[in-house]
Structure 1
Amino acid sequence: MSVKKIYLIRHGQTDFNVAGIVQGSGVDSSLNEAGHRQAARFFAAYRHLPFDKVYTSTLQRTRQSVQGFLDLGLPHEQHAGLNEISWGVREGTRITPEEDEEYYGVLRQWHQGNTTARLPGGESPEEVAARQRPFLDLITTRPEEENILVCMHGRAMRVLLCQLLHYPLSHMDAFEHRNLCLYKVHYTGSLFSVRSFLDTQHLQEPA
């Protein structure tokens, strides 16, 4: 097969991002004004590419981030496997290092290799990885889709990149993310490789 090119982006900014409030899969927030500007700049930079399909999570902030491409009439599929990790009881709350030892304690457990740990009512990285696998099976068995755009969420993106590159989930924080950042990934039919890492050049203010 020819090389499949996957343009993997995180959604644009929301007011929850600015306020430091945990969103997760249970908070269906929308983009704020800055997030819509980010989406418009990404669209302006990449609208020329011949995308065969656009994939998003089921949360509106991902769909809004690629709305320009959907307005072109490109085929679109939503997958719950792309949803953000569930942070359980902490969704919708503000998290700071000083105020929430439990939250940061779980993050430390993940870094130390305990990727089955979770916050009360939430998901573990292992559970997120499991629900992503049907999506991975889908995109790897559709050779006719040579160029695809995938919009998802920060923590879930880290888990997905670990799976693509066969990294242990404990290494997921190696994959940094920002609102509307791009990872460009190539798939040869047997191997995934990252060709562009945390690309935000498209977000720069016009000269």
Structure 2
Amino acid sequence: MKRKSIYLIRHGETDLNRQGVVQGSGVDSMLNEWGEAQAAAFFNAYQHVPFDKIYTSNLQRTQQSVRGFINQGIPFEKYEGLNEISWGTREGKEPNTGDTSYYRDLVLAWKGGDFNRAADGGESPIQVRDRQIPVIETILSRPHERNILIAMHGRAMRVLLTTLFKQPLIHMDDYEHSNLCLYRINYSYDTQRFELEVKNDTTHLLSLEIPQTF
């Protein structure tokens, strides 16, 4: 049986993550010191996996999250299709009460099935799914890549996982995530089906000391 093992991670922490600032696809932030530590811990835990290819978004925080593997010489490709959802005009701005209500209403609309609704100046979940599908097709067209590592973003991951498992987008929020979490997925070329093996796993981060905030 021909299979592909997919290690899917969310990028490590950035300063904007810690501040509660929405980044989306329009803010190309870097990992902070804690995010770099998370990336190093993930590399230490999974450096033994013989990855054939690494796929990332175009945003540097995903590439920094897998730098240890790239430095090993593992080939990697970056795709705009793996970018985070665009949250539009509010990306990168300090959170306030109005923003909290705005994002809550937007997510509630999605939970109610309005997947064409987009953030002001941003994207809808359907638009994100539509740009992800060609990347999925590219990845699956390469059966010789038996073990792959994909680094991307929280909301985009939720959209991707519903697509892989042929679920309606209303199930997006069933897939919890945290910085540098791991989803491990197997794909069978015989059955053309994906199987979830591990979800939102952060055991590789247990050795890290929780950063102090003041």
The alignment's TM-score, normalised by the length of structure 1, stands at: 0.97
CA distance in 2, matches of 1:142, 1:14: 32
**CA-to-aligned-CA distance 1:160-195 (integer Å, 9 cap, x gap):** 000000111111000000000000000002000110
| Contact in 2 for aligned 1:11/1:62 (Cα 8 Å) | yes
CA distance in 2, matches of 1:174, 1:196: 14
CA distance in 2, matches of 1:121, 1:98: 17
196, 201, 204: which one aligns with 2:203: 201
- Kindly tell me: are residues 118 and 37 of structure 1, through their superposed partners in 2, closer, same or farther at Cα, counting changes over 3 Å? same
**1:41 counterpart residue number:** 41
**1:67 counterpart residue number:** 67
**2:212 counterpart residue number:** none
Superposition deviation, residue 144 in structure 1:
0.2
Superposition deviation, residue 93 in structure 1:
1.7
- Mapping of residues 1-207 of structure 1, within 5 Å: 1-95=1-95, 99-189=99-189, 190-205=192-207
CA distance in 2, matches of 1:27, 1:152: 14
Aligned residue pair count: 207
Superposition deviation, residue 102 in structure 1:
2.1
Superposition deviation, residue 101 in structure 1:
1.9
What's the % identity of the aligned pairs?
54
CA distance in 2, matches of 1:172, 1:114: 13
Amino acid aligned to 1:63: Q
CA distance in 1, matches of 2:120, 2:195: 35
Instruction: Output the aligned Cα RMSD.
Output: 1.3
Amino acid aligned to 2:100: D
**CA-to-aligned-CA distance 1:90-115 (integer Å, 9 cap, x gap):** 10123356653222111100001101
- Kindly tell me: are residues 105 and 132 of structure 1, through their superposed partners in 2, closer, same or farther at Cα, counting changes over 3 Å? same
CA distance in 2, matches of 1:114, 1:52: 38
| Contact in 2 for aligned 1:97/1:104 (Cα 8 Å) | no
What SS does the corresponding residue of 2:137 show, helix, strand or coil? helix
CA distance in 2, matches of 1:155, 1:96: 20
* Structure 1 gap ranges (5+): none
Amino acid aligned to 2:193: L
The alignment's TM-score, normalised by the length of structure 2, stands at: 0.94
CA distance in 1, matches of 2:208, 2:30: 25
